[in-house]
């Protein structure tokens, strides 16, 4: 998408005065524990051209997503060849621009990038940046991926309207928190799933009408008892058996929205359930390259909602930039609530 390729330190010629930065580097595919926190050159800016990398951002907060670990392992759909800096969701302050940038040094921004967020600096195409004003960087770092994805899922794919029933899986995670808040603002009835008692309590506090412990083997029976005619929309970032059961829970012309595979398992969905309920399954994937104007409009709306208090990104687990491995371990443990952020 937007990042220039980082040159490795051992390729720098003697006398090169290029500034350097601390960054996490994937030198070869593997586990987070294989990453190296290294000093590498600050990525250079480009002049002119479509999608030019024309703005350098000092990263103040970088949010973690389950896709980060998949990318590090080399198993993400949009595979990035090593060496690269992982991380795709950040907020910070513009420190340098080329002539064509839409921003100026000192502007506060957030963005989604293909890679490069887990570093002191990130070079970005200004067309991808969203101005965040006075919003706290840690909160703003949750907007580019989690809240944008939730918005695309509920309103662009799901066509959510007031009074509909929405089942939101992993409701205490980054995407689940965002989807719950946005569905609540639209007047939906929300059934949430979460694991621990703390997470279930939080899901209610965040706006869910009902919450179910997904660890129970018969969790789906509770959904049926709460919504005998089925649910209109399922927001599913989990995948695996959760997706397969969710398909059976859809109401007539219901929609299953596939937002990710946090379980690590890609489901094999049976088309007969879609047929008999006239139901549909939608992959929720967006990019600036395909829908730049629509994504900018969505993100502008999210910034305004956040500034006005209409949405409230939950940032509870914050780690220093140098503790990425510990942060990813915490996210993997499923014990975190809301977004995990490096700052």
**pLDDT computed for residue 289 by the predictor:** 85
* Exposure string for 132-144, b = 16+ CB within 10 A, e = fewer: beebbbbbbbbbb
Tell the burial category of 62 from Cβ atoms under 10 Å away from its Cβ (0-12, 13-18, 19+).
buried
pLDDT tens by residue, 247-304: 999 999 999 999 998 887 889 999 999 999 999 999 999 988 889 999 999 999 999 9
Q: Is the model's pLDDT at 63 over the cut of 90?
A: yes
**pLDDT computed for residue 262 by the predictor:** 83
> What is the arithmetic mean of pLDDT over 55-60?
97
The domains of the chain, with CATH numbers, are 9-142+313-342 (3.90.180.10), 146-283 (3.40.50.720)
Q: Is the model's pLDDT at 104 over the cut of 90?
A: yes
Which range among 48-52, 71-75, 161-165, 338-342 shows the weakest confidence by mean pLDDT?
A: 48-52
**pLDDT computed for residue 328 by the predictor:** 96
CB under 8 Å to 286, separation ≥6 — which residues?
Answer: 148, 149, 152, 156, 295
**pLDDT computed for residue 13 by the predictor:** 34
Q: Does the pTM of the predicted model rise above 0.75?
A: yes
Are 161 and 232 within 8 A, CB to CB? no
pLDDT tens by residue, 179-197: 999 999 999 999 999 999 9
pLDDT tens by residue, 138-183: 999 999 999 999 999 999 999 999 999 999 999 999 999 999 999 9
pLDDT tens by residue, 303-323: 999 999 999 999 989 999 999
**pLDDT computed for residue 165 by the predictor:** 98
pLDDT tens by residue, 6-54: 433 333 333 334 499 999 999 999 999 999 999 999 999 988 766 789 9
- The per-residue DSSP string of 46-71 comes to --SSTT---EEEEEEEEE--HHHHHH
CA 271, CA 203: separation in Å to the nearest integer? 31
Tell the burial category of 321 from Cβ atoms under 10 Å away from its Cβ (0-12, 13-18, 19+).
buried
Question: Tokens in use for 263?
Answer: 């379980």
**pLDDT computed for residue 335 by the predictor:** 83
Question: Tokens in use for 162?
Answer: 């007031």
Q: Is the model's pLDDT at 116 over the cut of 80?
A: yes
């Amino acid at each position: 998408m937007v990042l220039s390729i980082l040159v490795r330190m051992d390729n720098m010629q003697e006398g090169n005065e290029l500034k350097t930065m601390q960054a996490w580097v994937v030198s070869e595919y593997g586990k987070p524990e294989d990453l190296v926190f290294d000093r590498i050159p600050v990525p250079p800016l480009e002049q002119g051209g479509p999608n030019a990398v024309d703005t350098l951002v000092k990263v103040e907060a970088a949010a973690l997503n389950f896709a980060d670990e998949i990318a590090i392992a080399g198993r993400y759909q949009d595979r990035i060849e090593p060496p690269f800096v992982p991380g795709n969701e950040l907020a910070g302050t513009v420190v340098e621009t080329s002539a064509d940038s839409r921003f100026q040094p000192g502007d506060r921004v957030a963005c989604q990038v293909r890679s490069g967020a887990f570093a002191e600096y990130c070079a970005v195409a200004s067309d991808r940046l969203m101005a965040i004003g006075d919003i706290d960087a840690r909160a703003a770092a949750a907007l580019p991926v989690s809240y944008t994805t939730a918005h695309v899922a509920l309103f662009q794919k799901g066509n959510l309207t007031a009074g509909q029933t929405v089942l939101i899986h992993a409701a205490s995670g980054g995407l689940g928190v965002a989807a719950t808040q946005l569905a609540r603002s639209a007047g939906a009835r929300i059934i949430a799933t979460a694991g621990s008692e703390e997470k279930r309590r939080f899901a209610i506090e965040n706006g869910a009408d009902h919450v179910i412990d997904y660890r129970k083997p018969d969790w789906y029976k509770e959904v049926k008892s709460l919504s005998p005619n089925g649910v209109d929309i399922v927001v599913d970032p989990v995948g695996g058996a959760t997706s397969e059961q969710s398909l059976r829970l859809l109401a007539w012309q219901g929609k299953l929205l596939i937002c990710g595979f946090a379980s690590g398992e890609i489901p094999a969905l049976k088309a007969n359930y879609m047929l008999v309920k006239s139901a549909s399954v939608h992959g929720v994937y967006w990019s600036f390259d395909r829908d730049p104007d629509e994504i900018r409009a969505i993100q502008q709306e999210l910034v305004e909602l956040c500034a006005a208090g209409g949405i409230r990104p939950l940032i509870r687990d914050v780690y220093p930039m140098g503790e990425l491995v510990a942060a990813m371990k915490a996210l993997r443990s499923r014990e975190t609530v809301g977004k995990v952020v490096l700052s």
